[in-house]
Amino acid sequence: MRIGILGGTFDPIHLGHLAAARAAMDCERLDRVLFIPTGIPPHRAGTVADGNQRVEMCRLAIAGETRFEVSDIEVQRNDVSYTVDTLRELKRLHPGDELFLILGWDAAKLFATWHEPAEVRRLASVVVVTRPGSGPLTEMALESAGLGGGSDTVCERATPNISGSDLRRAIARGEPVTDRLPPAVAAYVATNGLYMDNR
């Protein structure tokens, strides 16, 4: 089985995340995609919504998508979420399957700074999904990010230009965000008053 792994804070999960998963699924003929909300992110400040809320928003977002699943493996770890540790655990759980790490170009640009990037590439093929405005990705750009070569793929697909921080600010200002969130996630955010005191 070919399993895609899409990690992130998902604070909240939005239509851009779902589009990236579908793009990678199409580019790499993936059998399914695992959405894995970060526990404690190593590269940025903590999340606004807690781990259980972000897991629940992911579950709501993918309801009805038979090839999408949510894993709380990082949230349950309750420690800094290094991708390499998650991939090792997934390899143990899925020993006969191929793993494909799905990254937007904004995250992929920082790949060389990650914890044990060479081991990450050994455990999984990397699929870089282009972001709006990123332009065509050259081999030189990939190499400067610590990527490129036979096992990595660039997936050029049109995806919505949605920023999580802009989204949280819009929610805090009371602006409509239904064009950026799955309806069930928008309802969950409103019901739980999430991001209203967004910093």
What is the number of domains present in the chain? 1
Other Cβ atoms less than 10 A from the Cβ of 97: the count is 14
**Is the pTM here over 0.75, yes or no?**
yes
For position 52, what pLDDT does the model report?
95
31 within domain boundaries: yes
198 within domain boundaries: no
CA angle 168, 49, 161 (to 5 degrees): 35
- Is the predicted pLDDT of residue 1 greater than 80, yes or no? yes
For position 193, what pLDDT does the model report?
94
Who wins on pLDDT, 198 or 96? 96
For position 157, what pLDDT does the model report?
87
CATH of the domain at 72: 3.40.50.620
- Is the predicted pLDDT of residue 43 greater than 70, yes or no? no
At residue 71 the predicted structure's pLDDT band, cuts being 50, 70 and 90, is: very high
Who wins on pLDDT, 199 or 183? 183
d(CA 86, CA 109): 20
d(CA 15, CA 133): 17
77 within domain boundaries: yes
Structural domain span for residue 21 = 2-192
For position 198, what pLDDT does the model report?
61
At residue 199 the predicted structure's pLDDT band, cuts being 50, 70 and 90, is: low
97 within domain boundaries: yes
- Is the predicted pLDDT of residue 80 greater than 80, yes or no? yes
What is the mean predicted confidence (pLDDT) over 89-98? 95
Instruction: Please write the tens of the pLDDT for every residue from 148-158.
Output: 777 788 998 88
At residue 106 the predicted structure's pLDDT band, cuts being 50, 70 and 90, is: confident
100 within domain boundaries: yes
CA angle 17, 57, 173 (to 5 degrees): 85
Q: Return the axis-axis angle of helices 51-62 and 15-28, rounded to nearest 10°.
A: 60
84 within domain boundaries: yes
For position 148, what pLDDT does the model report?
79
- Is the predicted pLDDT of residue 42 greater than 80, yes or no? no
Nearest CA-CA partner of 4 in 21, 17, 27: 21
Other Cβ atoms less than 10 A from the Cβ of 111: the count is 21
48 three-class SS: coil
For position 135, what pLDDT does the model report?
65
197 within domain boundaries: no
199 within domain boundaries: no
What percentage of the chain reaches a pLDDT higher than 90? Answer: 73
